[in-house]
Amino acid sequence: MDFDLDVIVEWMEEIGAEIVSIGPDSGGNELPEPTTEEVYQLLKELAEFTRVEPKKNLVERMSRELDDFQGLDTDEVYAELKDRGYLPDAVFE
């Protein structure tokens, strides 16, 4: 199944998701995954209407793969996402 940003955002909005936790397949289930850029876009769009809580392993991946966050450690990426208005004051890991 291909990643469809519009469909996922629409579903989350339709069901009135209060919190969306996002993270890669860390269980080794070999699930198909969107690119880090696609996940970042998902995070930005979901943040317009719900609380988004990225998993630590996603934030680590963002710091390695996205130009916006290259060279930042995990805490710095969280802070940058918060400053951009994409995260609430507290997120879990």
34-87 pLDDT tens trace: 999 999 999 999 999 999 999 988 988 898 899 889 889 888 998 899 898 888
Q: DSSP labels for 4-17?
A: -HHHHHHHHHHTT-
Q: pTM of the predicted model, to two decimals? A: 0.83
pLDDT band at 91 (very low <50, low <70, confident <90, very high): low
Report if residue 91 sits inside a domain.
no
The reported pLDDT for the residue numbered 1 is 62
Q: At what angle do helices 56-65 and 36-46 cross, to 10 degrees?
A: 120
Cβ atoms within 10 Å of 23's Cβ, excluding its own = 15
Domain range for 66 is 5-24+32-83
- On the question of pLDDT at 89 being above 80, the answer is no
Report if residue 75 sits inside a domain.
yes
Query: Which residues make Cβ contacts (< 8 Å) with residue 12, sequence separation at least 6?
Result: 20, 46, 49, 50
Report if residue 88 sits inside a domain.
no
Q: Are 89 and 55 in contact (CB under 8 A)?
A: no
Per the structure, the count of domains in the chain is 1
The reported pLDDT for the residue numbered 29 is 85
Report if residue 93 sits inside a domain.
no
Report if residue 45 sits inside a domain.
yes
